Structure formats: C-alpha cells, structure tokens
Amino acid sequence: MAEDSLLITNARFVNEGHITEGNLRVRNGRIDAMAPSLAAATGETVLDAAGRYLVPGFIDDQVHFREPGLTQKGDMATESAAAVAGGITSFMEMPNVKPPTTHRAAVADKYERAAGRARANFAFYLGATNDNLDELRAVTPAEACGIKVFMGASTGNMLVDNPQVLEQLFADAPLLIAAHCEHTPTILANEATARERYGEDVPMSEHPLIRSEQACFKSSAMAVDLARRHDARLHVLHLTTAREMELFRSGPLAAKRITAEVCVHHLYFSADDYERLGARIKCNPAVKTAADRQSLLAALRDDRIDVVATDHAPHLAEEKARSYFQAPAGLPLVQHALLSLLEYHHDGVLPLELIVRKASHAPAELFGITDRGFLREGYWADLVLLDLDRPTLATDATALYKCGWTPFDGVNFRSTIAATLVNGQLAWQDGQLTGAIAGQRLDCNAAR
C-alpha cells in the first residue's frame, strides 16, 4: 500500500453535523478508510493532525478567475493557487470574461484551459444573454455546471433584461439557473441622483444607496416569481439585504427548487467600512448595513440561506484607486474566505458543523457533484486541516492573487489553514504551496 497512501492521524472530523475523532487513510486520491483508529502500514506517510479539525474542502460555487481575456487581473493558475491556500478545493467559475462564455464551445475551452493548471477542481457556467436562447436550451449537465444570468448589470456586458427572454429562459433552461439580482433601472436612477448631488466624485459610502436595497429586492423578487411560475431550478447568488430574506423558505436543501446564497464579504464587512476601505470593498451587490449583515447571519442559521460562496472578483489596485464611477466592483477573496467565516465560529455565532454544511456539503448537493463535499469512504480526498489556535495575518504582501492585494490587509484571523489536499495530493501545507497541480474537472449534474 505504501507510496500512494497517506494516513492522517489524531484528527477531529467535522462532517454531516457531527464532530468525531479518528484517523483517515487516503489512497489513490480517495478516502480509503475512516475509523477511530487505523494502524500505519509499513512505509506509509503519516500526517499527525494533533487534534486539529479535518473538514471536506470548501466548494466555491461563484468565482471570477478572469480567463480568457482579463488575465492581467487573475488567471486559473494564480487564483486557484490562492484558493487552495484558503481551503477551497473546488471552484465554479463565471462567464463574464472576454469574450464572454456564452457558447458551449467557450465553456469547453475553459475546461481545457483549466486542465493541468488549476490547483483546485473546476467547473464552468454558461452565460445567458438577450440572444443566446438556443445555446442555453441545448446545454447539458455534462457541458456546464449551470446557467448564469445577470438580471442586473455588473462587470462585463451581460445584462439580460428582455422580459420575453427571461420568461423563455426560466421556462426552458435545462440546468440550474444562477442569478445575479439587482434591478438596473433603479440603479441608473440612483446614479443620476448621486451625480446631481456630487458630480463625478461620489463618495464610496453611497454605493449601498445606489446599488440599493430596493434594487436588490425588486430583481430577486422577479427571479423568484419567474422560477415559481415555470418551476425552474433557481439559485439566487450573493444576497445582501434583510428584506430579500422574506423571499426564501427555511428547510432542507433537498426539498427546495429555489435556493439562496450569501458571500463571505457580505457577512464580514458592513457599510461602516466604506470610510476605511473605500473601493476595496466596492462590489455588486454592495456591502449593506450592519443590520442587513445580522439578518444574513440569521438566515444562514435558520436555513433560508443554503450556501456560502465568495464571488472572488479580482481587479487591479490601480483600477480600484479610481473615483466612484470608474473603480470596478469586486474583491479578491478566495484565500481568506474560510478564515473570515471561522471568525464567526470563534465568536460563537456559527458552529463549525454549520460552516462545513453551507460551504462544502450544500454546494456538492446543489450541483449534484459526484463523490465530493463530504468526508466519506470512497469520496475524493479533498480535505482541509484547520488550526483554530494559530492566527494568520492577512496582508497585501502575502496575498497570492495576481492583483496583489486583499480587502483583509492587516486583519489577524484567529485560525490557520494548516493543510489542503486536492484529490489526495497536498496542495498547501505549513504556509506554502507544495507545487501540486491536482485539480480535476468536477462531475456536476445540476439538471433542472
């Protein structure tokens, strides 16, 4: 058994609502055995977890890795390296690149680009436009992990605002629809009001008033209504407001046709941070008030929100230094996303079991990902070892992103990602990338 076999001893497994102690053997990339005690075989590599927590890797269902066409901001190699450093072992990537991923052939091209370069497992969305219904109707679960629809304009030019197209998309989409919801006409009216008041020099603190609660609610309500009427499988991305929470029902994921997501930065930052961080936290939808943040946390706990993701969206520091209308929206997040969530564990707000359920189990279930997202014998060994007693200081200098900065610069998180394994290979250990490039294509089945 020796060479390709790794034994992790003295671990505390966080899995499927329980924390148990034991050993775990990885063999041929998969979890071969889990038991309270397993004896090391001759020649077997042993990793002593020393009582630390072992969790299934975070599956991030919303990232922007900027390839093709925007690779000055990031690419699959650089951003997936940051992802494994942050305990993310699988990512699902968005279509607002250049040219946009709005044809099945463009999705296939992304899979080819990721193979042999991504350090984490990967899947890609097909993007909707006002005029690619035939492509959307034809796509199969084997070709894309879902259909992304911008029901609000954001980075890239992918707004779908033709009401007939939306009706047909929700009626016919063969896959899960992942929707960005912000009502663009409301935002444009708010922008005009802000321009009247401030000219071009709008303070960043206006962002949540421009990309307002009303804009979010109107669009999210429209998406939920479309999905109900057409019995579509809808996943509403990155929710930000207390008011939107009334659109979603509490309950087990398996029983839902409409699911909800929150992103780590909307759980961590609030409107009080614009003065300090400015465009560094400018994103769409905007970071809202501290009261909104509280409601998002409550909805996560009572299962109105099903999934936590990042919406990792790197932009260059010099782009972020521009004035309000010129600074692009989006922040790089994958390296510190799990660490930021763990702060809520330290504060007694989110149990570890819940974090694992929302960040690992739920995305695996939602996208029908084969053999990942859980610590189970026979599943791929996508594993993360967490040290909750060792702090990590986040700095721009140690950010692995191509853009070279992090909105968490100067934050001393109370935890450390001690090790990350992807398909049984150590990808990150003791603060270093190991060099392993072990990402594989995710086998998704997010059929309607």
Binding site for ligand DOR (CB under 6 A): 64, 96, 154-155, 180, 283-284, 313, 328-330
Name the residue nearer to ligand DOR (CB basis): 49 or 313: 313
Name the residue nearer to ligand DOR (CB basis): 87 or 328: 328
Name the residue nearer to ligand DOR (CB basis): 139 or 158: 158
Name the residue nearer to ligand DOR (CB basis): 333 or 422: 333
Name the residue nearer to ligand DOR (CB basis): 355 or 399: 399
Report, in Å, the least distance between residue 165 CB and ligand DOR. 19
Report, in Å, the least distance between residue 64 CB and ligand DOR. 4
Which residue's CB comes closest to ligand DOR? 330
Report, in Å, the least distance between residue 84 CB and ligand DOR. 21
Report, in Å, the least distance between residue 119 CB and ligand DOR. 21
Report, in Å, the least distance between residue 267 CB and ligand DOR. 15
Q: Label each residue of the chain as H, E or C.
A: CCCCEEEEEEEEEEECCEEEEEEEEEECCEEEEEECCCCCCCCCEEEECCCCEEEECEEEEEECCCCCCCCCCCCHHHHHHHHHHCCEEEEEECCCCCCCCCCHHHHHHHHHHHCCCCCCEEEECEECCCCCHHHHHHCCCCCCCCEEEEECCCCCCCECCCHHHHHHHHHHCCECEEEEECCHHHHHHHHHHHHHHHCCCCCHHHHHHHCCHHHHHHHHHHHHHHHHHHCCCEEECCCCCCHHHHHCCCCCHHHCCEEEEEEHHHHHCCHHHHHHHHHHHCCCCCCCCHHHHHHHHHHHHCCCCCEEECCECCCCHHHHCCCCCCCCCCCCCCCCHHHHHHHHHHCCCCCHHHHHHHHHHHHHHHCCCCCCCCCCCCCECCEEEEECCCCEECCCCCCCCCCCCCCCCCCEECCEEEEEEECCEEEEECCEECCCCCCCECCCCCEC
Report, in Å, the least distance between residue 328 CB and ligand DOR. 6
Report, in Å, the least distance between residue 442 CB and ligand DOR. 21
Name the residue nearer to ligand DOR (CB basis): 57 or 285: 285
Name the residue nearer to ligand DOR (CB basis): 57 or 95: 95
